[in-house]
Chains A and B, each alone.
Chain A
Amino acid sequence: MTSTRNPMKGRVAFAGAATTGFVPRNSGRSQASWVAEACIKVLRECGLGPEDIDGVCGSSPSAAHVQAMLGIPEVTWFANPAIPLVNHVAAAAAAVHAGLCETVLVYHAAYRLPWNTAASLKDPFRRPQPVPTGPGPEQIGGSVGYTAWASRYIHEYGVPKEHFGYVAINDRTNASANPAAAMREPMTMDDYLSARMIRWPLCLYDMDVPVDGADAFIVTTAERARDLPLSPVLIQAVALGMAGKNDEEQTVDLDHHGQQVTVKALKAKSDFWIDDCDVYFPYDGFTIITLNWIENAGWCGRGEAGQFLQQHWDADQQRVLIDGRIPVNPHGGALSEGATQGSGHLREAIHQLQGVAAGRQVVDAQRAIVTTGGFFFNAQGVTLQRG
């Protein structure tokens, strides 16, 4: 069932968002050092000190570690949600709205670890102890799951790989305007199509790029945010959608997974949807995820996302502008800014609505939709508006 209840709507805000920028290599820095840099930056930009924070929320390092590292004297609420990032937004916003705390420091480190790149093992400090043995290759969990469902998508809709390529090229073009992005060299369709196959049908450029770096956010009440130096961005609705069959292998089909649940809930709880959206952030950890978000959000019909991107392709700019106006992942997304598990999408949405996105700024951006995560147990979204 989808409830329209949303007493939190417009009452909780992002007061700021900051990034360290991302590098596509083992940085020689700890995860905590990236988090510290991002947190200190966002706190300074918001004019806040450690004593102003009474909630801490992030995945790794733990909230306890981050509180101690930054000398935050007291918190009355903290949490360590799993990725991706709308989990953190939901937890922090609900805690603020319920009064468990007033001002939450939300952080996320993107960090190259064995789960997303084997090259992380070159750094002895990133090696798990002991190295775990898996059950062998006959599984479709994790990365293989999206690849497997890409095979199903191609089977059902008979689409060419170029449809996936538009997602990758759009991200790469957008990243060239983002100094925080890890991958900024232009990409052509030939580059995309000739990339190394990793797991058929997906190649190297269908998968996001593992990076080191961090983002940090301040979540507080709309009233408090209005008293702080930066323009507030109000949270309209948050949804974490999950279908009953949420295992990669047992997911019913392409029409019954977490994305449909998320979209239904966001539409029921928000005052606006895609017709009034100025900038759109579909998750792109794998290109197949983006094609499905575009379809499930309602921009086009099932199996038509590639054609939709082609129809709205700006050939001069080599990127998508929906109706000549609405950019898609203007920061470069996970495929080119870096694999931030959604924090980059959220940060850029906030910066766009604050009007501080520099060379990527959408003129007079008022409303943004962020749909992060994939299909199974991590499809989620947030609708945001300028405060």
Chain B
Amino acid sequence: MSSLIPDDELVSRFAGHQLDHDSAAHYRGRLERRLLISRCRECATWHHPPMPVCPACWSSDVEPTEVAGTGTIYLAVFLHQGPPAPGVDYTTPYPVATVELDEQPGLRFTSTVVGAANDDIAIGRRVSLDWIDRAGAPLPVFRLDGAAR
């Protein structure tokens, strides 16, 4: 069970990411290819990135909860240059999209969009979650709805 791996191993699996006590569960979820977003068990409000209390009601009963991974592109950029990453080649500008998740207005998650031509990736397009491998750890990514898998 990846959820039981010790904290130090979790940190090394996601080298370069800022892990802490509040975000560890989100990253453990990634190891099981589950996108976990923090949700308040008192008032049911979602928030991201993970925080120790619910920003809406201040309850500390916050639970990492799996989302459907469906949503709409809200912001979109194409990197002509960027930080080195395995499998990322900027000779074709690399798309980065912030997706508004269907669970709640304003709840957003950022990643890349795979399996689509850049000309088809635009604000307003519907997307769904998928997973790729990044340096030995699963990375949540999006695919355009209606695109061939």
B134 and A244 contact, CB distance less than 8 A: no
Our pick among B14, B15, B110 for the contact of A140 (Cβ within 8 Å) is B110
Tell me if B52 is interfacial: C-beta within 8 Å of chain A: no
Cα distance A348–B107 when bound, in Å? 41
Contact present for B96 and A137 (CB under 8 Å): yes
Residues of chain A in range 114-165 having any CB-CB distance to chain B below 8 Å: 132-140, 144, 147-149, 151-152, 155
Most buried by B among A137, A138, A198, A244: A138
Interfacial chain B residues near A197, Cβ < 8 Å? 80, 93
Contacts of B47 in A (CB 8 A): 250
Q: Which residues of A contact B107 (CB under 8 A)?
A: 250
Q: Which residues of chain B from 57 to 99 have any CB-CB distance to chain A below 8 Å in the complex?
A: 74-83, 85, 88, 93-94, 96, 98
Contact flags B1-28 to A (C-beta < 8 A → 1, else 0): 0000000000000111110000000000
Interface membership of B112, Cβ < 8 A: yes
Chain B: CB-nearest residue to A247: B49
Chain A residues, CB < 8 A from B123: 151-152, 155
Q: How large is the interface on A (under 10, 10 to 19, 20 to 34, 35 or more residues)?
A: 20 to 34
Q: Which of B55, B76, B109, B112 contacts A137 (CB 8 A)?
A: B112
* Choice from B77, B94, B106, B112 contacting A148 with Cβ under 8 Å: B77
Cα distance, A217 to B77, chains bound together (Å) = 38
By the criterion CB–CB under 8 Å, are A152 and B16 in contact?
Answer: no
User: At the interface, yes or no: B128 with Cβ under 8 Å from chain A?
Assistant: no
Residue A97 at the chain B interface, CB threshold 8 Å: no
Whole-angstrom CA separation of A148 from B108 in the bound complex: 13
Q: Which residues of B111-149 have CB atoms within 8 Å of chain A's CB atoms? A: 111-112, 122-124, 134, 139, 141
Is B55 within 8 A of A199, CB to CB?
A: no
- 9 CB < 8 A contacts A-B: A134-B83, A136-B139, A138-B139, A144-B79, A148-B96, A148-B98, A197-B80, A199-B80, A249-B108
Q: Can you add 6 more A-B contacts, CB < 8 Å, to A138-B139, A144-B79?
A: A144-B77, A144-B96, A197-B93, A201-B77, A249-B109, A250-B47
